[in-house]
Structure formats: structure tokens, C-alpha cells
Structure 1
């Protein structure tokens, strides 16, 4: 069993920590929870939770809800906030309300609070969805960039082979570096937003819920439509002329094919040949048929336009 390295923040001696006071933000052992913490003034309304349950969002929401009636006004320190101004996006005390917000669009604090919590939860869900994609893409791009064994082989060949390899590889390497840089930035931004979001959920300060949504970036990056995939580069040897032993060759790329769409033919006959011309005209001939059909691809259907 792993040793518990956390020390009680009351007695600072016991490492048998089992609880956390959400209001004091302190880790407690069993003894301090019973003998000390409960005897301090006003701690009877504090929420002391088992450490295993503290990360639960519903528990954190209950804790924050207790602080809604005790939010200090940021302008008038002696006053507590009683309403939320949607026009100014501010928590207001009675003095603020009377001074300049009476005609504004106002909402109850608890109503706005729950709305803000929902927004942050939705953002957290989106962050959880997007982060794995960019983390995996960053890992894949790093792996692709490190695959340079073929370049070491080709550099032993003639100058024209090196030139040909650079023609194929340099633009690709530049694009990989660009995509890797963008992906790393997106990944870091998502991680920062997720960490800030989680910190807000764990905070016992209710004000954080109202300010967090304004600070966090809710605009998630658009996933790239075309990302670089692995590409195999081959060296094809050719002996020129045939009566010599000198070896020349060519650098070739091994293309990767993937299905981008599928269409159902409006006939049960099998296709014999198919052709697409430069003007995007499509024609095909069927097995055991003497006719040629012009067709179009639309909505997953291959429809004949003329015969």
C-alpha cells in the first residue's frame, strides 16, 4: 500500500490525513477534525469532506452554494452582494444597485450562479473531448518528424538523388513543423483552460464561478480538416547502362489511399470500366452491356444522367 505523504495542516505531525475542510481549505487528520476544528468559532457551518469524495463536482457545488449569501462587494467592502447585473456582468450590493444599476437587467445571484456553473461544466466537457485529439495528433506528428532513416540511406547516393529527396521531403517537413507547432499550442491552451476550469470547480470561493467564465477562453480550436499522415519513401534502384555495375535510382513515395465516400449504383450489374474527364463528366460501362452511361454522384447515390 502506498504511503500517505500528506501531513495534517492543523497539528503538522500526523500523516493519517482523511478529511478536507472546503471552507478553511485545510487537510485534517481524524483527531484534529474532532478535537480542534469543531471547537473553532463559526466552523459548525463548514463543510468537512472525505478526501476521496472532495473531487466530486456535486459536492463542490454544494460547498459553493453555502457561500452565495456571504459574497463581499468588490467596491463597498462593508456590504454583501445581493443581485447580479447582466448588463454590466457584475455582482452588486445594495449600494451599487441604488447608485447606478436600478434600470439594468438584474438576475438573482443563485440563478446566475447555476447558469455559470452549467456553462463551465459544458466547457469542461468540450475540453475533455478536444484534448485527446490534439494530444494524439501532437504525438503522431513528432513520430513522423523523427522518421529520418530513409534520408540517411539516400545521402550515400548521387547528388541528384539528394536533390530529389529534398524536393519531396523539405516542403513536407516544413508543413509537419507548422502543424506540430499549431497542435502543441492548441494542446497547451486546452490543458491550461482545463486546469483553470478544474481549479474553479474545486474552489470554495463562490465569486470564482462568476469571474471564471469571463477569463476562460470558451472558443475551442477548429480541428484541422487535413493533417499530415505517415508517408513511406522508397528508393528504386536502376542499373544504367546495363553493362555497368554503377547503380542509379529514383526516390519514390508510397501513396496512402483512403475511402473518402461511397455510393450505391442504381443497377445490379457490375462495373466493367469507369472514367472521369477533366470537365468532371463521369461515364461507365457495365459488364456484358453494349451501352455507356453518363452518371453523377450525389447523396451517396450513383445516378444515371444519360445512356
Structure 2
């Protein structure tokens, strides 16, 4: 089981007046002092945990405020499930004491207390850079909103152009229709005039026959010579009428031949053409991406 970072590995209890050795391991001040006395005749002594040689003359340091803040939140090594105690400068990751003795042994190390202020400084710098980007995003958003309004405006204008074009074509088509109807009635009036002439001739013939029949009713009181003359007139009219064609001739009908408009009508109204926007020289992809924190 992993020990707490505030546990002294000598007495296995909570560190009393914690002291940190050069290897960053912490022990009770009394425990590490008693342990160091065992090597009073030597220049160095091994760390009770990592066995790193510690200069006997080197004084252990007291736990600082930053150390206390770091130990309030425990982080564990993903490889060994031990509490992380150092920061590998080569791999830029947190490591435990077992990592320091194995895979990261030849690497440069820094204690968490040493790394903390540097990390906070880098974090603050990154935060300031991010804050500087915020106005650019706000300005970009405002520009996009303007473009959206322009898109809608251009769409409304194009639709209005379509409506105006339809109205123009409607007026033109109405005029074409009036011209066609005028031509139709001119043709019909011509044919009607011909029929009226035929009707007039038929009416005159009918009136002549009626007059002759009326005269024939009174012929018995006329002289024989007059009767002979009138008879010859009647016979002549009879022959003339028998030769007459009483079949009513048909007239020249006027009809509208409908034109094709499937393609022509669209070409009359117009076609849609999309004008491609010029690429932005400053931002070829025209895209912003913000960093998201977990």
C-alpha cells in the first residue's frame, strides 16, 4: 500500500516537524537526526527510502508553505500507484520514488516544491496570453454576426429582384396576351363579315321569292301575254336557284397554338449565380479554435 506523503518512513507515523532531504523525501526531524547519527564518521549517509547518498554536513530543510499546499492534494503515479514526489525535467511529467530508481533514473529531476513556482509562472503566462486572445475572438464574433446580417440582406435583395422580374414579365405577358386577342378578333371579324354577306344574299333571295309568289297569286286576272312572261321569269329563277349551292361553307377558325416554356420561361426570369467570396489573406482557413480545459 502506498504511504502518505506526510508519513515518515522511519517511524511510519505522521511527520512531526517534517524535514526534507536532498532527495526530496521527508521524515520527522527527530527520526532523521537519530538516523544520521549512525553515519557520524562518514561523509554521507543513504536516504532511508531511495538510498541516495546524502551529505552528512548538508542540513535538512523545513517544510515550506508551498510544500504544505502541495501535500494537501495527493497525486499518484500511473505506473506504480505511488504518491508522486518529483518532476522529471526530461519527460516533463510527475513521477514517484520508484520511477526515479527505474525508468527515470538517468533523467534530471526537480522536487515538486521547486517545480511549483515555475509551473505557476508558466501557467500565469499562458493565462495572460489566453486573455489577450479574448478580444480577437470577440471581434471575430462581431464580424461573423455582421456577415450573417449581410447574408440575409443579400438573400432578401435577390428574392426581391425575382419578384420584380416576375412583375415585369407579367406585365409583358399581359400585353402579349392582349395583342394575341386583338389578332384573334380581327380574324374572327373577317370571317363574320363573309358570313354576313352570305346571309344578306340569302335574305335578298328569300324576299324575291316571296314577292314573286305574291304576284303569282294575282296572275289569274292578268293578260295571257303577261302570264307567259312571268312564267318564263319564274322558270328562270327556278333554274338559277336549283344551280345555287345552299351548303353553308365553314369558316377559318382561329386557335391559339401554345408555346413551350419549360426552359424558356426560366431563362426569361433569370438564373442564379453564386459569387464566391475571396479568401481571407490573414486567415486562409477563416477558423478560430479555442483551447478547452478538462
If the length of structure 2 is used for normalisation, what is the TM-score?
0.33
Higher relative contact order (CA 8 A, sep 6+): 1
The structure number with the bigger radius of gyration is 2
More strand by share: 1
More helix by share: 2
